[in-house]
């Protein structure tokens, strides 16, 4: 149960500002449900009551940051108060810790909420004799930045979230699990018909009518539809996907600066003779190689990179559908290359992009555990993770749409409208995992844990 002081504090704020707290309700001395509560603002992007995605006002983000800063525990456990290259998280003991909270034996700790300050996942290790599976990576103490991102104190990288792990676990452990996790921002079929009409209205485009064309494009496109697949659209995981998709589009169209030297807007690079350009940009996980030891007890994940990709699109005048041209614009390719190379830097400037990479790492970790039956191999039961009726996930406002935007190139003669997307496909990488017998020697050290806590070094 919450302490009175904390309840008094929360009463001063709206539900929007009750960030990542736990409320435990009891009925007849039994826990009825546990609900993680979160903000409608994630990564500086908010969803309104109608499901429309938009940039949150700076004042709102500062208020969110201030409120969360007071909610985050001031005293981080001593064992978690330093940067370490190897942090071992026991899924068995983490499950037990969450279950204790469900049983009313203690308050939900920030250390669990932020997964011990984990900032990367390097290994998954099965420990059959302990009936445990370990997630191992780097960690550091966490702080809250000015706009409410929970990040590592030293690196500024977003820390992993328990609710994202739970979302991925429940989604990828379904009997009919999704093969990919995606977010897409696209125009409606009705909008595509209107767009074709606009194009016919402007047979010639130059600096005199480019602005008028851009305005008519925006009116014709209206609200683009956001589609989430693979995870619940009301999850924080989904909001991270949508926020990154939205922000990538805004950077590409020059609606907000990247903040990274060497990453200009796409539209500022366009100077050719094309009058109208409709590129599609999407972010995809580049997982590299997954390796395992000879007994398949130790699994090593490569550093996850995020790749920006592109393809041209066109509107079929007869059907009014959006199709792929199968071609790519050279400028779009160049911009995506800059985006990919700048991604690590961009993540420091705007942690939401680092948050997306965290979600990608979580996805491949869970996909690996599921595909290789690692929980079964260890006889590890995650009862609190399994049951949504017991440990209930927060239901965030579902992102449904975003107003379309068009931009004019620097030569003033080209109108650009961009669609976006995010794609996470962890299972393909897991299926092509490779044996590395040199990893056998490290099992004894990696599998050893100390103490009663669910984290160790």
Quick check: 289 and 278 in contact, CB under 8 A?
Answer: no
Mean pLDDT to the nearest integer, 196-219? 85
Asked whether the predicted pLDDT for residue 95 surpasses 90, the reply is yes
Mean pLDDT to the nearest integer, 28-37? 34
Mean pLDDT to the nearest integer, 252-276? 86
pTM higher than 0.75 for the full model? yes
Q: For the chain, what are the domain ranges? A: 4-448
Asked whether the predicted pLDDT for residue 131 surpasses 80, the reply is yes
Residue 195: its pLDDT value, please?
A: 83
Asked whether the predicted pLDDT for residue 38 surpasses 80, the reply is no
Mean pLDDT to the nearest integer, 107-135? 95
Quick check: 382 and 91 in contact, CB under 8 A?
Answer: yes
Residue 327: its pLDDT value, please?
A: 62
Residue 21: its pLDDT value, please?
A: 34
In 202-324, alpha helices (H): 210-221, 236-252, 266-269
Backbone angles phi, psi at 450, to 5 degrees: -130, 150
Q: Which of 105, 124, 226, 129 is nearest to 165 (CA)?
A: 124
Query: How many residues does this entry show for the chain?
Result: 457
Residue 261: its pLDDT value, please?
A: 94
Asked whether the predicted pLDDT for residue 335 surpasses 60, the reply is yes
Asked whether the predicted pLDDT for residue 13 surpasses 60, the reply is no
- Residue 20's pLDDT band (cuts 50, 70, 90): very low
Residue 272: its pLDDT value, please?
A: 62
Q: What does pLDDT average to over the chain? A: 84
Mean pLDDT to the nearest integer, 323-343? 82
Q: Encode pLDDT of 220-256 as tens digits.
A: 888 999 999 999 999 999 999 999 999 999 999 999 9
Q: Encode pLDDT of 158-206 as tens digits.
A: 999 999 999 999 999 988 889 899 999 988 888 888 888 888 888 888 7
Q: 390: which residues sit within 8 A by CB, 6+ positions away?
A: 31, 33, 34, 102, 384
Mean pLDDT to the nearest integer, 116-130? 98
Residue 415: its pLDDT value, please?
A: 72
Q: 114: which residues sit within 8 A by CB, 6+ positions away?
A: 142, 150, 159, 160, 161, 162
Which has the higher per-residue pLDDT, 89 or 24? 89
**How many whole angstroms separate alpha carbon 108 and alpha carbon 85?**
26
Asked whether the predicted pLDDT for residue 39 surpasses 70, the reply is no
Residue 302: its pLDDT value, please?
A: 96
Asked whether the predicted pLDDT for residue 218 surpasses 60, the reply is yes
As a whole-number percent, the residues of the chain with pLDDT over 70 amount to 86
Q: Encode pLDDT of 56-91 as tens digits.
A: 888 778 887 888 888 786 778 999 999 999 999 999
Asked whether the predicted pLDDT for residue 8 surpasses 50, the reply is no
Residue 275: its pLDDT value, please?
A: 61
Residue 40: its pLDDT value, please?
A: 64
């Amino acid at each position: 149960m919450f302490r009175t002081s904390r309840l008094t504090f929360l009463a001063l704020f709206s539900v929007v500002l009750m960030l990542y707290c736990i409320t435990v309700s009891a009925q007849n001395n039994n826990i009825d449900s546990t609900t993680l509560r979160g903000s409608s603002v994630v990564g500086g992007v908010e969803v309104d009551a109608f499901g429309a995605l938009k940039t949150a006002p700076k004042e709102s983000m500062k208020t969110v940051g201030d409120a969360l800063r007071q909610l985050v525990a001031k005293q981080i456990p001593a064992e978690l108060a330093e940067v370490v290259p190897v942090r071992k998280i026991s899924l068995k003991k983490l499950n037990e810790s969450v279950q204790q909270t469900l049983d009313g034996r203690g308050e939900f700790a920030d250390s669990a909420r932020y997964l011990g300050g984990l900032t990367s996942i390097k290994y998954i290790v099965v420990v059959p004799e302990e009936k445990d599976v370990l997630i191992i990576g780097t960690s550091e103490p966490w702080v809250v930045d000015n706009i409410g991102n929970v990040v590592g104190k030293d690196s500024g990288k977003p820390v992993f979230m328990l609710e994202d792990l739970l979302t991925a676990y429940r989604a990828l452990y379904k009997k009919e699990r999704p093969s990919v996790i995606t977010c897409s921002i696209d125009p409606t079929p009705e909008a595509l018909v209107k767009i074709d009409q606009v194009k016919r209205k402007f047979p010639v485009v130059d600096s005199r009518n480019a602005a008028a064309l851009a305005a008519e494009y925006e009116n014709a496109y209206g609200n683009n539809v956001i589609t989430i697949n693979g995870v619940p659209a009301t999850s924080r995981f989904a909001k991270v996907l949508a926020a990154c998709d939205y922000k990538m589009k805004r950077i590409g169209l020059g609606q907000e600066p990247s903040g990274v030297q060497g990453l200009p807007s796409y539209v500022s690079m366009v100077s050719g003779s094309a009058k109208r350009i409709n590129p599609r940009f999407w972010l995809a996980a580049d997982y590299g190689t997954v390796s395992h030891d000879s007994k398949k007890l130790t699994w090593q994940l490569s550093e996850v990179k995020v790749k920006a990709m592109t393809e041209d699109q066109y509107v079929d005048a007869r059907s009014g559908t959006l199709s792929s041209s199968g071609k790519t614009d050279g400028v779009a390719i160049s911009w995506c290359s800059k985006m990919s190379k700048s991604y690590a830097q961009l993540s420091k400037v705007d942690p939401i992009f680092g948050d997306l990479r965290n979600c990608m790492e979580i996805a491949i970790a869970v996909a690996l555990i599921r595909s290789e039956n690692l929980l079964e191999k260890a006889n590890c039961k995650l009862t609190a993770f399994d049951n949504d009726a017991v440990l209930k996930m927060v239901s965030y406002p579902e992102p449904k749409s975003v107003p379309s935007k068009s931009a004019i190139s620097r030569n003033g003669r080209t109108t650009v409208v961009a669609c976006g997307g995010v794609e996470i496909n962890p299972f393909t990488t897991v299926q092509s995992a490779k044996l590395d017998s040199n990893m056998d020697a490290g099992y004894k050290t990696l599998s050893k844990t100390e103490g009663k806590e669910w984290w160790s070094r």
